[in-house]
Amino acid sequence: MKARPCLRVGAVQMQSQPADQAANLAVVEQFCATAAAAGVELLVFPECCLTGYWFIRHLTPQQLADLAEPVPDGPGTAALQTLAARYGLLLGAGLVEAAADGFYNTYVVAAPDGQVWSHRKLQAFEHPLIRSGDQFTVFDTPLGWRLAVLICYDCNLVENVRMVALQGAEVLLAPHQTGGCRTTNPHLMGLIDRAVWDRREQDPAAIEAEFRGDKGRGWLLRWLPSRAHDNGLFLIFANGVGIDDDEIRTGNAMILDPYGRILTETSAAAAALVIADLDPALLTRATGREWIAARRPELYAPLAQRTGAERETRELKYEE
């Protein structure tokens, strides 16, 4: 059997404009052109990058309805399909979906041949009217690779990543809006002073220290490599960067291999693209895949039972 070739992938960090899909799509297209010229086949953008993100929590029900759109029949999905075909890319980007039963934080993946897949965030908290999805999203692509999507907080739960691995995912798309988050937890992230961001050109060392410290990269490295390693899959982390309502996102776009090693990353305080080649040979003996093969499912029944301590993600998020 002929070995599969490497897959060239890209992860983008960008700052989205609130409720300005045209402006955000213009940035997406710029990166599509750059990535296509570099031979990228799969390009991953952040969570809610077409709509903007953290301002969503302030919206009235009518404003949320005005922001949201159907998937796959809305203009955002159509624009992504057009860009995927124009640049020959498998392309993923996030928006707010309007569905018959409510609103969702949704990630759309469009292929050059017109195929579309979408994932509804499982651990949603952005607005009281945004519902959590109830299905894992794992699918085969024209590229010959099996992909999964988990949005931001979805990736925090080890069970979610293990579930997509058990469904055969080889590459996890992990679109986020994280870093620099407000929290009362003294060991977790914290806000970045807006003045440090505003002076990033005059004092680049100050913002880089924040991005590479515990508010950014340090936070990510506590858990992100383990998700890739323990499940034997590649992980593409795309994040917001810069001003996001009253917080500063920390970027740190990176791509990891099935051993949890960082193939490429950036600490730039600006919109940026990182690119890596995924070697399928690394999947064959990945430690995480061997560990999955050694599982004893008969011991794990309690994992699927409620303990009584479970709470809604938004309750936990807003109490941090």
pLDDT in tens, 262-283: 999 999 999 999 999 999 999 9
pLDDT in tens, 217-231: 999 999 999 999 999
Whether 171 and 9 have beta carbons less than 8 Å apart is answered as: yes
Q: Residue 239's domain spans which residues?
A: 7-319
Domain count, the chain: 1
Average pLDDT, integer, range 290-314:
93
pLDDT in tens, 17-34: 999 999 999 999 999 999
| 130 or 313: which leads in pLDDT | 130
Q: What pLDDT does 189 receive? A: 86
pLDDT score of 101 more than 70: yes
- 210 domain residue, yes or no: yes
Domain holding 133: CATH number? 3.60.110.10
- pLDDT, averaged across the chain: 96
Q: What pLDDT does 52 receive? A: 98
Q: Write the CB contacts of 57 (distance below 8 Å, at least 6 apart in sequence).
A: 126, 127, 245
Between CA 225 and CA 234 the distance in angstroms is: 10
- 252 domain residue, yes or no: yes
- 223 domain residue, yes or no: yes
User: Which helix or strand (DSSP H or E) is residue 96 part of?
Assistant: strand 90-99
Partner residues linked to 276 by β-bridges: 9
**Tokens (6 digits) for 302:** 């309690």
- 38 domain residue, yes or no: yes
Q: What pLDDT does 320 receive? A: 45
Q: What pLDDT does 165 receive? A: 98
Rg of the chain over all Cα atoms, to the nearest angstrom: 19
Taking the chain, what is the end-to-end CA distance rounded to the nearest angstrom? 51
Percent of the chain with pLDDT over 70: 99
Between CA 34 and CA 40 the distance in angstroms is: 9
Between CA 74 and CA 78 the distance in angstroms is: 6
Average pLDDT, integer, range 57-84:
98
How many Cβ atoms from other residues are within 10 Å of residue 1's Cβ? 3
The string over 13-34, giving b where at least 16 C-beta atoms fall within 10 Å of a residue's C-beta and e elsewhere, is bbbbbbbebeebbebbeebbeb
- 301 domain residue, yes or no: yes
pLDDT score of 184 more than 80: no
Between CA 150 and CA 136 the distance in angstroms is: 8
For helices 21-37 and 75-87, give the axis angle rounded to 10 degrees: 20
pLDDT score of 57 more than 50: yes
Q: Considering only CA atoms, which of 34, 37, 56 is closest in space to residue 45?
A: 34
Q: What pLDDT does 188 receive? A: 81
Q: What pLDDT does 318 receive? A: 61
pLDDT score of 319 more than 80: no
- 16 domain residue, yes or no: yes
- 35 domain residue, yes or no: yes
pLDDT score of 317 more than 80: no
Query: Any idea which residue has 């440090």 for tokens?
Result: 196
- 1 domain residue, yes or no: no
Between CA 109 and CA 58 the distance in angstroms is: 27
Q: What pLDDT does 81 receive? A: 98
The residue type of 198 is D
pLDDT score of 82 more than 70: yes
Q: What pLDDT does 80 receive? A: 98
